[in-house]
Structures are given as structure tokens and as C-alpha cells.
Amino acid sequence: MIKRLIDWLKQPLGLIAVGIALLAVFSFAAYGISLTQQPPEQPVQFPHQTHVAFGIQCLYCHPGAAKGPAAGIPSQAKCWACHNQIAKTETSLLLAPLKQAVLSGQPLEWVPVAQVPDFVQFNHRAHVAAGQNCENCHGDMSKVTIAENPQVFNMGFCLDCHKQVAGDDHEKLVKLVDCGTCHY
């Protein structure tokens, strides 16, 4: 049987079959990978670029970034403060969930897309204080609707920047590549 099979595979039709099969595997795999890269489902299709276009500063909605470890997601009260003065809020489908949430007093459940593993202790304040702009890590928000992470936050990404920033300042370098700076 096996021998017959192998012989059959050797002839053109068999080769094609094998080709198709391999193709199938790869497409499945590719599909699989693509699944993992989908941005998650968000309660509101929040258009970042619109808000940036209105000239709203990042820190207005994410004030934590300048003060401590977490930038934070604004409370819906904050959204409402502006939006209840905007006529469009009443009509817009896009904003329906916000309206509904505020009226029903149910929190909006956002899914953060920029995240690091739990064994990484990240502190926004330090980075902002060091003069890093939000877009250096989070990308240009004037281009996106739902925030998407331009790059995976892995250790290589962090270290690259840390080493560049440190430059020749050895003391700084030591601090910035110290395992204990992020992992404890």
C-alpha cells in the first residue's frame, strides 16, 4: 500500500495534490496567526482621530500617564461632560452605547490594547517625565479610530529605546538595562 501510495505521489497529479495540501496547511496557519492579531471587540468604536483633530490632548483623557504607573481609561462621566453638550450625541448610532451606559449607570467595559505582561512593572510617569511622547510607543492617534498597537511591546522593543536613550552615560545605562528596573 505505502509503496503504491508513494509511487502515485511521484506522478504529476500526486505532486499537485501534495502542493494543494501544503498550501492548505499554510493558509490555515496564516489564518490562525491572523486570528491572534485581531483587535478586540470594543464597546464603542471610539474614533481617536476625531478627538485628536479637535485638539484634545492625550493627557486630558488619560491624566494618569503624567502622574503614575497607569494612564487609565477615562470615566464615562468625563466623556459625558462634553458629549451631553453635543447635539450629535442624541442621534449618533456610534455614541448610543455611551448614552445608554451613562443613563443606565453601567460602566463601559473597554479592552486595553497596549499592554505588557504581568511580570513587567511599567511606569508611565517616568517615561513621560523623560520626555517621551505618547506616539513613540502608542503610534499616531490622529490616524486611527480604535487604538491599535503599532508594535508588540516586547523586551527587545523596550531595551532598544532604553539603550539609545542611555547612550554613553554609563550610570544611566546601568539603571536602564537593570533587570530590577522592570521585573520584580
Partner 1 sequence: MADHKNHAGHAEEHFREKHLMLDPLPRGQMNDMVMESMHTTSWKFWVVFAILSAIVGYGLFYSWGTMIAEGLGIAGVNRPSYWGIFLVNTVFWIGISHAGTFISAILRVFKAEFRRPFTRAAELMTTFGLVQAGFSVFMHMGRVWLAYWLMPYANQRMLWPNLHSPLTWDLLAITTYLLSSTMYLFLPLIPDLAMARDRSTGWRKTFYKTLALGFRGTEGEWAHLRNAMNIFAFAIIPVMFSVHTIVSWDFAAATRPGWNSSIFGPYFVVGALHSGMGAVIMVLAVVRATMKHMKYFIRPEHFDAIAKLMLIISMAWAYFFFNDYMVQWYGGDKWTHQLLHFHEAGPLGWMWFAMLIFNIAIPWAVLWNQKWRSTPWIVFIVGFFINIGMWFERYIIVPISLSINRMPFTWRMYEPGVEIPLGIGTLAFFILLYMGASKLIPLIPVWEVEEGQMAHELKKFGRETVVSVSELE
Partner 2 sequence: MTDKFSRRDFLKLAGVGTATTAILTGCGPASRYVKREPYMLMPEYTYNGQSTYYATTCRECAAGCGLVVRTSQGRAIKTEGNANHPLNLGKTCARGQATLHGLYNPDRVTDPLQRKRGNVSAAKMDWDAAIQTVADAFKQYKPNEAAFLMGTSSDHLFDLVTDLCSRTGLNLPVRFGALSMFESRATLAKAAENLFGEAGLPFFDVGGAQVVFSFGANFLETWLSPVSYTRGFAGLREGQTKKRGSFIQFESRMSSTAGKADEWIPLQPGSEALVALAIGRLALEMRGGPLPRAFADIDPRTAAARSGIELETLERYAEMFVNSTGVLAIPGGAALGQTNGLAVAEAVLTLNAVADNFGKQGGVFFSPTAPGQEKYQRSASVKEMQDLVQKMTDGEIKVLFVHGVNPLFELPASLEFKKALDGVEQVISFSTFPDETALESDFVFPDHHGLESWGYQRVSTGSNQSALSGSQPVVSPFYNTRSTADVLIAAAQLAGGDFAKALPFKDEVEFLQEKVAPLLNEVDGYFSAPDINTFMASFQQYGGWWKNSDSRVIPNTADVFNRNLKAAEAEFAGEGEFFFMPFVSPTLAEAGANKPWLQELPDPTTTVMWNTWVEINPETAHELGLEDDDVVKIISEAGELEVPVYRYPAIRPDTIAIPFGQGHTAYGRYAEQRGVNPADLLGRHFNEAGDLAFAGMKVRIEKTGKKQPLSRLESIMGVYGVGLGEEH
Partner 3 sequence: MIRPEEIKMSADESGKWGMVIDQDICTGCQACVAACAMENNISFVGEKDSGYGRSMHWIRIERFWEGEYPEVKMTPNQPMLCQQCGSATCEPVCPAFATVHSQAEQLNLQVYNRCVGTRYCANNCPYQVRSFNWRDYERPEPLSNQLNPDVTVRRRGVMEKCTFCIQRIHKAQDKAKSEGREVLDGEFTTACAQACPANAITFGRVDDPESLVSQLAKKRGHGIKHLEELGTLPNVTYFKGG
Pick the closer one to partner 2 by CB: 72 or 166: 72
**Among 44, 59, 70, 120, which residue interacts with partner 2 (rule: CB under 8 A)?**
70
Does 20 bind partner 2 (CB under 8 A)? Our answer is yes
Binding to partner 2 by CB under 8 A, coded x per residue (else -) over 120-149, reads -----------------------------x
DSSP symbols for 18-63: HHHHHHHHHHHHHHHHHHHTPPPP-SS---HHHHHHTT--HHHH-T
Pick the closer one to partner 3 by CB: 132 or 145: 132
Asked if 95 and 88 touch (Cβ cutoff 8 Å), the reply is: yes
Placement of cell 479592552 in the chain: 111
b vs e for 5-40, b when ≥16 Cβ sit within 10 Å of the residue's Cβ? eeeeeeeeeeeeeeeeeeeeeeeeeeeeeeeeeeee
* DSSP-based three-state secondary structure for 94: coil
The minimum distance between CB 156 and partner 1, in angstroms, equals 3
Does 159 bind partner 1 (CB under 8 A)? Our answer is yes
Does 129 bind partner 1 (CB under 8 A)? Our answer is no
Does 8 bind partner 1 (CB under 8 A)? Our answer is no
**Contact residues for partner 3, defined by CB under 8 A:** 117-119, 121, 123, 125-126, 129, 170, 173-175, 177-181, 183-184
Q: How far apart are CA 150 and CA 68, in angstroms?
A: 23
> Which residues contribute to the site for partner 2 (CB under 8 A)?
5, 8, 13, 17-18, 20-22, 24-29, 31-33, 35-38, 40, 63-64, 67-78, 105, 107-113, 115, 117, 149, 152
